[in-house]
């Protein structure tokens, strides 16, 4: 029996209303879940905790669709960076440290996140990501055009509140390429009422924590809902295809590695910088290396230079560049086998707001390392080349974006090239890695004694690469209210002057900042002169 046109129209209207209502209920359920007691970790009793009305967010953050409309219209209505309307949860099982933390805010792709994410905890709605944007790409582009200027103004204000990036250099010291000076430190700002780092170091960890005085709290990604690879300006000037529509880099170029960095090979030490001051690319690698590398090494280098689609840099609409992109190559971050200082998020945790910001480590000297990656025990260069997290630890994204399509035999050849990248020369060091007295200054020699003694550096930084190949938990949460970060891999100190900023997330922009950090964390009571001597020693490594 045929339906009358009016009846058919009525059914269509009912269906449309039903779909809209269904979408509204899904969104309401998400908002009700996220940032409430339901996002807590499961209780050991096995009973699921149902939040009371006063535990829920009083005024949930705007949905992404609301934000789209408000940004395009110019009326944002968003909360201030760092603001949270979640309540502090109580202790759960033994060993939990959540009583002083807040539940993660309700956010989705593209939405701003607090700059102090270390103060938050919780679980996400799922471990799995989606290649679907919360809006059409045209809206996505307009959304970020509206949001980015205000976001970056707040990022600059936040970074300026934590650091004094004066651009002052250490006289007479440059990085190994000889083109970029090494910066003076410390640049971390002391808290109000504290006149010197020496005064701060006299306080106990408990007092520093209670008074919120610790100057080296973690750094988060400036837009952690999108996160992913964020390139510095020196790289973007040459590779504008990687400029993001949503956020820019947050550390000045003066405090990042020189670009392009020199490349040293274990097989041709007599040639010095093989790259001769230029960036190695797919266009020039054959001309530079033909006759110097084996065929397997040549193929491995080619693959290290070949772009592949990644979570946010690709040809689909799920991207953070205005135009489609070929993706990112290994050596786009590990430039010339070193690093340009680009950041990412560690792929070892969920939700995304819990992931740690990580700097790009140098590949120099990887042949001598038994453990790679900051939070995972990757035990070989072959394994490292094979599992590099192009999809943020989410293999499901490959279905929409495309796999890297690199076979194991090819990743082995990538490791073949990685295995011959050497550290820069250190002419003041002898064969066992100690200073040659006739070539070293008095300050450097004093610094070496401190390094192996009072400063306790050699307990974790020993051997030819000045690294013990272990993970260590510094328990820095003793000094501030925040989520414990847990054990992090020790990184080598050979050629360390070439790799600012320091620590896994760049919270120590200069070598002197790292000395101040460890003086506080290890309670070393170093004097001003001892700190200078340690910096001078590390400049010689």
Per-residue pLDDT of 266-315, as tens digits, reads 999 999 999 999 999 999 999 999 999 999 999 999 999 999 999 999 99
Strands 120-121 and 102-103: what pairing? parallel
Cis peptide before 483 (omega within 30 of 0): no
Integer Cα distance of 313 and 401 in angstroms: 9
Q: What is d(CA 183, CA 258) in angstroms, rounded to the nearest whole number?
A: 12
d(CA 511, CA 514): 5
Q: Is residue 463's pLDDT more than 90?
A: yes
In this predicted structure, the answer to whether residue 138 has a pLDDT above a threshold of 60 is yes
CA dihedral 417, 419, 424, 426 (to 10 degrees): -160
Q: Percentage of the chain with pLDDT > 70?
A: 80
CB atoms within 10 A of CB 157: 11
Torsion angles phi and psi, residue 183, rounded to 5: -85, 145
Q: Is 324 exposed, middle or buried (0-12, 13-18, 19+ CB in 10 A)?
A: middle
Q: How many CB atoms lie within 10 A of CB 511?
A: 29
Token readout for 534 is 């340690």
Residues, the chain, total? 541
| Other beta carbons within 10 Å of 57 | 19
- Give the pLDDT score at 46: 36
pTM above 0.95, yes or no: no
- In 201-236, which positions are buried (b, 16+ CB within 10 angstroms) versus exposed (e)? eebebeebbeeebbbbbbbbbbbbbbbbbbbbebbe
* 383-418 exposure pattern, b = at least 16 Cβ within 10 A, e = fewer: bbbbebbbbbbbeebbeebeebebeeebbbbbbbbb
Residue in the structure block whose two tokens are 């992931």: 355
pLDDT at 14: 53
CB atoms within 10 A of CB 118: 22
Could you give the 3-state DSSP secondary structure of residue 345? strand
For the chain, the helix, strand and coil percentages under 3-state DSSP, each to the nearest 5:
35, 5, 55
How distant, in Å, are the alpha carbons of 56, 89, 351 from that of 103?
A: 11, 8, 12
Tokens of 138: 């045209």
Quote the pLDDT of residue 48.
34
Long-range contact set of residues 88-95: C-beta below 8 Å, sequence gap at least 24: 89/37, 89/40, 92/40, 92/41, 92/43, 92/44, 93/43, 93/44
Q: How many of the other CB atoms lie within 10 Å of CB of 125?
A: 13
Q: What domains are defined for the chain?
A: 186-216+428-541 (1.10.760.10)
- Residue 464 token pair: 């030819």
Residue indicated by tokens 């295995």 = 419
CA distance 480 to 492: 27
In this structure, of 75-79, 174-178, 282-286, the range with the lowest mean pLDDT score is 75-79
As a whole number, mean pLDDT of residues 316-329 equals 95
What is the spatial distance between Cα 308 and Cα 329, in angstroms, rounded to a whole number? 6
Condensed to tens digits (0 to 9), the pLDDT of residues 89-118 reads 434 445 677 899 999 998 999 999 999 999
pLDDT value at residue 53: 29
């Amino acid at each position: 029996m045929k339906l009358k046109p009016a009846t058919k129209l009525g059914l269509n209207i009912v269906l449309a209303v039903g779909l809209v209502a269904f979408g509204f209920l899904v969104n309401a359920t998400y908002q009700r879940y996220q940032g409430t007691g339901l996002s807590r970790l499961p209780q050991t009793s096995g009973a699921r905790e149902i939040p009371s009305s006063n535990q829920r967010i009083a005024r949930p953050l705007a949905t992404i669709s609301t934000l789209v409309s408000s940004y395009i219209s110019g009326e944002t209505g968003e909360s201030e960076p760092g603001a949270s309307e979640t309540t502090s949860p109580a202790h759960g099982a033994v060993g939990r440290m959540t009583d002083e933390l807040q539940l993660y805010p309700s956010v989705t792709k593209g939405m701003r996140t607090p700059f102090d994410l270390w103060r938050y905890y919780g679980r996400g709605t799922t471990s799995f990501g989606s290649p679907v944007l919360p809006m059409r790409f045209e809206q996505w582009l307009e959304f970020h055009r509206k949001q980015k200027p205000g976001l970056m103004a707040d990022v600059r204000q936040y970074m300026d509140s934590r650091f004094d990036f004066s651009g002052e250099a250490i006289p007479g010291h440059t990085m190994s390429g000889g083109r970029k000076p090494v910066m003076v430190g410390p640049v971390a700002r002391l808290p109000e009422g504290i006149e010197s780092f020496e005064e701060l170091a006299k306080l106990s960890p408990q007092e520093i924590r209670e008074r919120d005085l610790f100057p080296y709290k973690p750094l988060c990604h400036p837009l952690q809902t999108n996160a992913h690879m964020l390139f510095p300006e020196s790289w973007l000037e040459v590779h504008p295809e990687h400029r993001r529509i949503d956020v820019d880099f947050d550390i000045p170029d003066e405090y990042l590695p020189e670009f392009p960095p020199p490349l040293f090979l274990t097989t041709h030490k007599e040639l010095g910088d093989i790259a001769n001051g230029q960036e190695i690319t797919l266009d020039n690698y054959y001309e530079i290396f033909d006759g110097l590398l084996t065929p397997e090494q040549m193929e491995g280098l080619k693959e290290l230079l070949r772009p592949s689609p990644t979570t946010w840099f690709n040809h689909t609409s799920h991207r953070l560049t205005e135009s489609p992109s070929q993706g990112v190559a290994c050596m786009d971050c590990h430039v010339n086998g070193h690093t340009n200082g680009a950041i990412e998020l560690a792929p070892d945790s969920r939700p995304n707001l819990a992931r740690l910001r990580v700097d790009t480590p140098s590949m120099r000297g990887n042949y001598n390392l038994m453990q790679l990656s900051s939070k995972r025990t990757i035990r070989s260069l072959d394994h490292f080349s094979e599992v590099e997290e192009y999809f943020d630890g989410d293999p499901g994204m490959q279905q929409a974006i495309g796999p890297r399509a690199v076979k194991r035999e090819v990743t082995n050849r990538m490791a073949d090239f990685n295995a011959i990248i050497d550290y820069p020369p250190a002419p003041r060091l002898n064969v066992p890695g100690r200073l040659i007295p006739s070539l070293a200054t008095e300050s450097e020699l004093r610094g070496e004694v401190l390094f192996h003694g009072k400063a306790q550096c050699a307990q974790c930084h020993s051997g030819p690469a000045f690294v013990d190949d272990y993970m260590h938990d510094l328990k820095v949460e003793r000094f501030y209210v925040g989520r414990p970060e847990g054990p992090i891999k020790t990184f080598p100190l050979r050629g360390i002057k070439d790799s600012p900023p320091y620590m896994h997330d760049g919270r120590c922009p200069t070598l002197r900042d790292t000395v101040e950090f460890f003086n506080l964390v290890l309670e070393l009571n170093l004097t001003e002169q001892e700190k200078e001597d340690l910096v001078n020693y590390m400049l010689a490594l």
